[in-house]
Structure 1
Amino acid sequence: MKSVQKKIVGLLKVLAMIVAGVLLGAILITLVYCIPVNQTNAQKSIDSLEGEGWYPSATQLKSSLDTYFHSYLPGVLDGATDGLMLAKATRQIEGNPLWEAMNMEGYTYYWHGYVVILRVLLLFMDYEQFRFLNCILQLMMMFFVAHFIWEKKGQRYALALLTSYFLMMPMAMFLSLQFSWIFYIAMALSLLICYRHTWFTEKRIPYIFVIAGMLTSFLDLLTYPLYTWAFPLFLLILLSEDGQKALNYVKTVFVSGLCWILGYAGMWFGKWALAGWIVHRNVIQEAWKEVLFRSGSEESLNLIARLEALYDNWKHYEYPLYTALLAIWLTWFIYKSLNGKTQIVRQEKNGAYLLITLSSFVWYFVLANHTLGHHFFTYRIWGVAITGILFLLCGSITTCKDNCSGRDRIYTFCKWGILCILAVMLTLTAREDVSVLNGNVEYQEIELPKGEQIEEEFLPSFPRVKNFAMGIRTESVKGQCIIEIRDDEKTLYELNWKLAELADTEYVQVPVDWNFKRDSNYRIVIHLEENEGPVYLRFTKDNVNPMLELGVAKIGGDIISGQLTSGIVYSYRPLSKYTLLFLTISWLGLLTALSFEVEQIVMWVFHRLKRNTGKT
């Protein structure tokens, strides 16, 4: 009974903290909006940002939507969101500051708490000076955390921390407002854990992580928020007293995680409720639509699309220097496991490290829409998994009292062989998008008469097609355009486009799931049904920039000089040998981490069965 009462009291305290945090957040933003803007620093900041463009690279400060935003380079900056932050922080408030603080011009469901810091800083410095300050502060904070861990736990853990930090592309975080807030929350809490570790008792831990979640919601615009829970928690478990039962560490993970979620979600909901009351709109409904959209629920994202979110974000680590760092760590661990002087022993903290690691997978899977569209910064959430696996590997290496037996080394060697085979097999299941198109050229429009059909030879380069696009224009508001994929006279797949839905477009792209045999010829057949107005299909002129997949096109037996303007997206295994090597290294690292717990479970089951057999 007393334990139930304690839990109820604890929950009420958490709710009180969230309510207090919501009110304090609203007050702080309102007060800071009463401070006048330093117009000189504001204009310098905006000019500096506009000179770089929306999505420059940290290593080359010029903007390119195609080269950087759509790339897997690790150093892409989010100049567009930095511009948004500067605009919010430098607004001239003419009306009610409380109303302005809650409304935030269309981004009502975010707190935008960063304006409390930025508006004050911009009184004394501009955007470029902030970047310099950012660089110094971030390096100092990381140095003090790594130095403390080096002193207390040894160099391998400190190097693991520094590796995970380097893989987040520090240069980009120095230069970006958008990427900095999460780092500061995580590092501030990490420093407290390092230098005031004894203060983090079992009773205090839940409330501390509630505050961490609230601060994350207040300052961040959904970049890599999981980091503010996971990174400090890794250090908390690392510095915890050794020798405890594994269940105690796992309990810390669950309790801190639940409390972080309560603080994070509670602070969000508090903003929606308070803002709705102040601005007289149903902000809760607006925000919930955004939640459903970002989670992919509105699009009904299937399992494959959600797994693509994991893969697209992980591809940022294919960057050569990143791959080299990961390969060095894996090589070191394999060497330590086989050299005869050290051995691999499962530690009680491994289960906790692995649970935190798996939280990255859950985040990408649940928020698939957001992480697919913003992978150029959400890839940093994988930093949680990388840190967890590195900590697990570092803790599992112990010195042999005597040289390890030959039998143990043979067992370890065989284990590595099995893991390598599994890693290669899993690598071969990977699929990437291979896009081909012929539409970036001049085109001609061919009218498709009613009762006629256009046929074109189709030779797919890869077995599976996941997207199909075609140039089409119509003035008809009735009828359908039927697109068939035929094998001889047999219709394999059919698309039925309602012409009324194509009135405002000239290029239609739709998801499909077409599977073909290798090196086989097919036909694309297009015809109309029940149309009233003309329908025009777009063809390239004189086969300029031809698509290898498409052959001769005919209408009513007459050959058309050009190809149907099309775009095809295949799903196929990676074509680059380097990518295959990178994925094999990745799978091997993950399987190694998982093998400790799998082996423990197998041994537990084996001993239970053996004991039960002995009793009978």
Structure 2
Amino acid sequence: MAKKIRNFAAILAISAVVGTMLLVLVFLLPVGPMRRNVEKSVGDMLKSGDEIPEDAFSKYLWKNRETYTDAIMVQNAIERLPDKNAYEHAMWMYHYDLEEDVWTPEDSLKAFCESHENVSNMYLHIYARYWHGYLLYLKPLLLLFSWKHVVWLELAVQIALMIWVLITAIRKQNAGVAAVTLGSFLFMKPLLVMISLTMSVCWILTLLAVEYMLLHHDRLHEKGQYPEFFLIIGILTSYFDFLTYPITTLGIPLCCYFLLENDRAWNNIKKLIGFCASWGIGYAGMWAAKWVIADLTLHTGTIKDAIWSIIGRTEAIGGRPRMNGGFYVIGLNLHEYPVYMGIAAGILAAVAVGLMVMIIVMGRWKNVYAQLLPVVVTAAIPFAWIIAVQHHSALHARFTFRILSVAAAAAITFIVLIVKQAKRSQKS
């Protein structure tokens, strides 16, 4: 335990220092070419009103894609105050907006590009409580490509990663991992994920985590390095994600672990608790490191701002009792799914429940509960997250609903494990 604590502390400290240095370095890049590249496609990427395409498919994409947060990310990438140095930018994360008290990112980005650095009619805001690690790749890409081309490039990366996971899973004779990973993706409105800078971050991190597990599971398991692995996933999620649907980077890899490693019930339950704690320490610890570094070096007041933000994001919605409000917000998130996805989720749940009833009736529960118990607990994680941070989950239900894909991943894992158990029984 003492060794693990030292490892965790060292990894967190190194991550915070390296993360800060990398952000400072990308803020040294010239923003002039980035702005010109953004200007080339800002009109296309922020289409509205009469500019919306006429065909149904394109209209659906433009109507539902997350341009609000994408616009914030892009403007953060091209912002540069002449009287502020790179370190101040990395810590404060300056952002001009047309409004003083509310955010209007799409209109503000358009105005920022059209004004050619004349921001006299705009208000200066800061966004210091996030790391904004996505700038590590977004700024260099915008230096070379337009915003539209960056989105297409990121789409190609996601498709390549999904194919890589599928091929690796088949080669490792564990197609169930691919079924769980790619099957759960269907419950994220996948087309909208693939064409959004914001929504693709957690999905790309999840794919990378699953691929690494497929390639190095034996070493991670034998050397007891899975706690550090989940710690690093939490750190990377905190650093790159914009608080969209982060819990998927924990839940889906957990499901894949249960397919890769068949342990006794209590071992898996203990590992589930340990891995969740490791991810949580990495996620919260890395986030807190940003607040501490910013406050200690520039007296930004980020810690105070972050604490008030946490209080606001986690308060019960609409003055309701917490559990009552939690169930209400779960309903809001479920409502984001189209009817056909609700039917698919119902079928998936019915198959899982039907298999469980069959197992109990046939008296085989003792043979499989060891594998299924941690999967059932994993399925509850997204619901617990929504109840805990229900204000944020209600305010941004249009994208937070994607954490429910963890429950879908758990249901698919449940079915795959039952099928595997049935095959083993037939052989014996």
TM-score (norm 2): 0.81
For residues 396-435 of structure 1, the C-alpha deviation after alignment (integer angstroms, 9 at most, x for no partner) is 2415968xxxxxxxxxxxxxxxxxxxxxxxxxxxxxxxxx
Q: In the alignment, which residue of structure 1 is the partner of 2:109?
A: none
Cα gap change, 1:279 to 1:392, in 2 (>3 Å): same
Alignment of 1:132-531 (within 5 A): 132-150=152-170, 152=172, 158-201=178-221, 203-240=224-261, 242=262, 244-296=263-315, 301-302=320-321, 303-317=323-337, 319-329=338-348, 345=365, 346-397=368-419, 398-399=422-423
Q: Distance in 1 between matches of 2:74 and 2:253?
A: 29
Greater shift, 222-231 or 343-352, is seen at: 343-352
Partner Cα separation in structure 1 for residue 166 and residue 132 of structure 2:
31
1:13 and 1:154 map into 2 onto residues whose CA distance is 31
Pairwise CA distance, 1:220: 0.9
Report the counterpart of residue 23 of structure 2 in structure 1.
29
**CA shift at 1:312, angstroms?**
1.0
Contact kept in structure 2, 1:312 and 1:372, CA below 8 Å: yes
Deviation of residue 161 (structure 1)? 3.4
Preserved contact between residue 180 and residue 255 of structure 2 (Cα < 8 Å): no
Specify whether residues 211 and 337 from structure 1 end up closer, same or farther in structure 2 by C-alpha distance, changes over 3 A only. Answer: closer
Tell me how far apart the structure 2 counterparts of residues 217 and 149 of structure 1 sit (CA, whole Å).
27
1:119 to 132, 139, 160: 139
> Which residue identity does 1:34 align to in structure 2?
L
1:25 shift after superposition: 1.2
Q: For residues 379 and 350 of structure 2, what CA distance do their matches in structure 1 show?
A: 21
**Does 2:36 correspond to 1:40?**
yes
Amino acid of the structure 1 residue aligned with 2:78: T
Amino acid at match of 1:96: N
What's the offset of the Cα at 1:119?
Answer: 0.3
Match of 2:98 in 1: none
CA distance in 1, matches of 2:339, 2:316: 35
Contact 2:325 2:387 (8 Å CA) reproduced: no
* Structure-2 separation of matches of 1:307 and 1:300: 13
CA distance in 1, matches of 2:354, 2:251: 29
- Contact 2:92/2:300 (CA < 8 Å) preserved in 1? no
Task: State how far apart, in whole Å, the 2-side matches of 1:396 and 1:153 are.
Answer: 17
How far residue 140 of structure 1 moved from its aligned partner, in angstroms, is 2.0
Instruction: Give the equivalent residue in structure 2 for 1:503.
Output: none
Tell me how far 1:339 sits from its aligned partner: 10
CA distance in 2, matches of 1:306, 1:335: 27
| Closer, same or farther: CA 330–307 of 1 in aligned 2, 3 Å | closer
Aligned length in residues: 380
Q: Deviations over 1:47-75 (max 9, x none)?
A: 3333248xx999444899xxx6xxxxxxx
Matched, 1:98 2:120: no
Deviation of 1:211 (Å)? 1.1
The alpha-carbon deviation at position 260 of structure 1 amounts to 0.8
More helix by share: 2
Aligned residue in 2 for 1:83: 71
Letter in 1 for 2:274: V
Amino acid of the structure 1 residue aligned with 2:403: I
| 1:251 Cα deviation from its structure 2 partner | 1.6
* Alpha-carbon distance, 1:160 to partner: 4.1
Residue 423 (structure 1) aligns with: none
Q: What is the identity, as a one-letter code, of the residue corresponding to 1:370?
A: H
Q: Does structure 2 conserve the Cα–Cα contact (< 8 Å) formed by 1:292 and 1:298?
A: no
Structure number with higher relative contact order (C-alpha < 8 Å, ≥ 6 residues apart): 2
Distance 1:357 1:331, change over 3 A: closer
Secondary structure of the 1:203 match is: coil
Q: 1:86, 1:159 → 2: CA distance? A: 34
**Higher percent of residues as strand:** 1
| Superposition CA RMSD, Å | 2.9
Q: Could you say which residue in structure 2 is the equivalent of 1:568?
A: none
Change (3 A) 1:350 1:35: same
Distance 1:306 1:96 in 2: 43
391 and 361 in structure 1: CA distance in 2 versus 1, 3 angstrom threshold: same
Aligned to 1:603: none
* 1:134–1:174 contact (8 Å) kept in structure 2: yes
Question: Is the alpha carbon distance of 1:263 and 1:338 closer, same or farther for their aligned partners in structure 2, counting shifts above 3 Å?
Answer: closer
Amino acid at match of 1:31: L
TM-score (norm. length: structure 1): 0.57
Q: Is the 8 A contact 1:227 1:384 kept in 2?
A: yes
CA distance in 2 between counterparts of 1:298 and 1:314 reads 16
SS of alignment partner, residue 316 of structure 1: coil
**Are residue 11 (structure 1) and residue 5 (structure 2) matched?**
yes
Query: Could you tell me the percent identity over the aligned residues?
Result: 24
Q: Using the alignment, how far apart are the partners of 2:355 and 2:312 within structure 1?
A: 47
Amino acid at match of 1:277: L
Matches for 1:538-549 after TM superposition, within 5 Å: none
Determine the C-alpha separation between the residues in 1 that align with 2:176 and 2:25.
Answer: 46
Instruction: Provide the rounded CA distance (Å) in 1 between the counterparts of 2:425 and 2:29.
Output: 66
Distance in 2 between the 1:147 and 1:26 partners?
Answer: 36
What is the Cα deviation at residue 327 of structure 1? 4.3
Is residue 33–residue 93 contact of structure 1 (8 Å, CA) maintained in 2?
A: no
| Partner deviation per Cα, 1:80-115 (whole Å, 9 max, x = no partner) | 110100011112342211011100132110111111
Instruction: Give the CA deviation at 1:335.
Output: 7.9
Instruction: Output one character per residue of 1:215-250: Cα deviation in whole Å (capped at 9) or x when no partner.
Output: 11111111000111111221122111x3x3111111
Describe the superposition over 1:524-550 as per-residue Cα deviations: whole angstroms up to 9, x where unpaired.
xxxxxxxxxxxxxxxxxxxxxxxxxxx
Q: Shift in Å at residue 23 of structure 1? A: 1.3
Q: What is the CA-CA distance between 1:289 and the residue it aligns to?
A: 0.2
Inter-CA distance 301–290: structure 2 relative to 1 (3 Å threshold): farther
